[in-house]
Amino acid sequence: MNIGVINESSKIENRAGLSPSGVSFLAEKGHKVFMQAGAGLKAGYSNEDFVALGADIVFTKEEVFGRSDVVLNISPLNQEECALVRENQILFGFHHLAVAKKNIIEELIKKNVTMIGYEIVEDIEGDLPFIGSLSEIAGQMCHVISGHYLQSCYGGRGLIMGGVVSVPPATAVIVGSTILARSAIKAMIGAGAHTIALGRYMDKLKELEEMTSGRLVTLMASQYNLLRMCEIADILIGAVLRPGQKAPVMITKEMVNKMKKGSIIIDLSIDQGGCVETSRPTSLEHPTFTEEGIIHYCVPNITSSVSRTSTKVLSNLVVPYLLQIGELGIHETLRRNRALCCGVYMYKKNLMKKNIAERFDLPYKKFNFDEEEKKPE
């Protein structure tokens, strides 16, 4: 099987689709890996690092798509990249179709691609391996980002997270009770912040409280409570996650207007549209903007700023799936591997996710992977 990794640095994406270690696993099983030149540079890997472990370096995206059965990307494909996709290719990556453009979806359906989204791969226990691993990273980063932008020189309130003797700690309010929220909660409590979490489900809030041994304040995410907590927050973290769906707006502009000037919003849901009404996507080059006196940090590919760690995690997760596809083929792999099956957006010219089909008014068909493919008569 031929596997391609494109260079996405033009999209301000620092992560690579595979690490050199991942390449070595695939090469040992006889698979060819085509790395576009420079794909790993921002993650700290040279072209030579990949070549030494069995990869072939190619110099254009056209060649990667032209020679590969499977293409690995990190950020969603843009219009130019979609035009390079070949018939029947398998596409792995963070696709976020819930916030994609309709014409891109239609073009890929016509090409009969199998599209697998890292963000919706889900195992039988209900865990999201890709999202879970990167959420752990993103949560830890909330501590660093908050501490940075709360400084006076960046327009913040001039606070430190944990406080000092006679001065109380900063107040961190986290909206959501998902795996993304859990990681942010751990980071904020670990940094010494007074931490409050708001969620919609009692059982989830109970789990969070038990996880933190009672150090976390929990509230139901009613409009009343959200407004009250926005008024006292120094740090507001939006961590609402609905795999494969657009994030609901939980924090309205009215609530943002009630926040203290110089406080910071980190919208971790921005990959899926954002859960704060005033949010809009930013980039690692220009990560923040200020609205109503509130600093907004809304970088979709937030873990790209720790690209080496993120690349290793993503590579470790995707390689076993690639090896299984190489051994069994895509149909049999999807039939046997329920986690990967959950991650399928498109297969055999059909959208496999009803919510995506309804959002864009496109046909939807639930394919039964337990049925054997019918052979032509």
Tokens matching residue 109: 């359906």
> Does the pLDDT value for residue 286 go beyond 50?
yes
Residue 205's CB is within 10 A of a number of other CB atoms, namely 19
User: 3-state DSSP call for residue 70?
Assistant: strand
What integer pLDDT is reported at residue 319 of this predicted model?
A: 98
Q: Which CATH architecture has domain 2-120+307-360?
A: 3-Layer(aba) Sandwich (3.40)
Q: What are 220-276's pLDDT values in tens digits?
A: 999 999 999 999 999 999 999 887 788 999 999 999 999 999 999 999 999 889 999
Closest CA to 318 of 291, 339, 300: 339
Phi then psi for residue 209, to 5 deg, are -65, -40
- The mean pLDDT of the chain is 94
Could you tell me the strand order of the sheet in which 344-347 lies?
56-58, 32-36, 2-5, 70-72, 90-93, 114-117, 344-347, 350-351
Give Cα separations from 258 to 174, 231, 254 (angstroms).
Answer: 16, 5, 7
What average pLDDT does the segment 200-213 reach? 94
Give the per-residue pLDDT at 65.
Answer: 98
User: Which of 177-181, 191-195, 211-215, 307-311 comes out lowest in average pLDDT?
Assistant: 177-181
What percent of the chain shows pLDDT beyond 70? 97
Q: Is the Cβ–Cβ distance between 330 and 97 less than 8 Å?
A: no
Residue 274 near residue 176, CB atoms below 8 Å: no
Percent of the chain, pLDDT > 90?
87
Q: Kindly state the average pLDDT of the residues 25-29.
A: 98
Give me the pLDDT at residue 90, please. 98
Tens-digit pLDDT profile for residues 17-26: 999 999 999 9
376 pLDDT more than 50: no
pLDDT at position 371 is: 55
2-120+307-360 and 131-300 share one CATH topology? yes
79 CB burial (10 A radius; 0-12, 13-18, 19+):
exposed
Residue with tokens 């751990």: 186
- Please provide the size of the chain in residues: 377
Helices 179-190 and 202-211: angle between axes, nearest 10 degrees: 30
Token pair for residue 280? 């809009």
Going by C-beta distance under 8 Å and a sequence separation of 6 or more, which residues neighbour residue 375?
A: none
Give the pLDDT of residue 281: 95
Whether residue 316 is predicted with pLDDT greater than 70 in this model: the reply is: yes
Q: What is the pLDDT of residue 369?
A: 56
- HSE of 372, CA atoms in CB hemisphere, 13 A: 3
* Phi, then psi, of 160 in degrees rounded to 5: -105, 155
Q: Which tokens belong to 14? A: 């620092």
**Per-residue pLDDT for 370 more than 70?**
no
> How is residue 309 annotated by DSSP?
H
What pLDDT, on a 0 to 100 scale, did the predictor assign at position 367? 66
Give yes or no for residue 372 having a pLDDT over 70. Answer: no
- Residues labelled as active-site residues: 96, 271
What integer is the mean pLDDT of 326-338?
A: 95
Q: Report the DSSP beta bridge partners of residue 72.
A: 5, 92
pLDDT band at 161 (very low <50, low <70, confident <90, very high): very high
Closest C-alpha to 53, from 20, 93, 92: 20
Please tell me the predicted confidence (pLDDT) of residue 375.
44
pLDDT for residue 11: 86
Q: What's the CA gap between 79 and 242, in Å, rounded? A: 25
Q: Where are the domains of the chain?
A: 2-120+307-360, 131-300
pLDDT of residue 301: 87
pLDDT band at 373 (very low <50, low <70, confident <90, very high): very low
CATH number assigned to the domain covering 131-300? 3.40.50.720
What pLDDT band is residue 320 in, cutting at 50, 70 and 90? very high
Beta strands at 114-117 and 344-347: parallel, antiparallel or unpaired = antiparallel
Q: How many CB atoms lie within 10 A of CB 52?
A: 12
Return the structure tokens found at 264: 């910071």
pLDDT at 189 over 50: yes
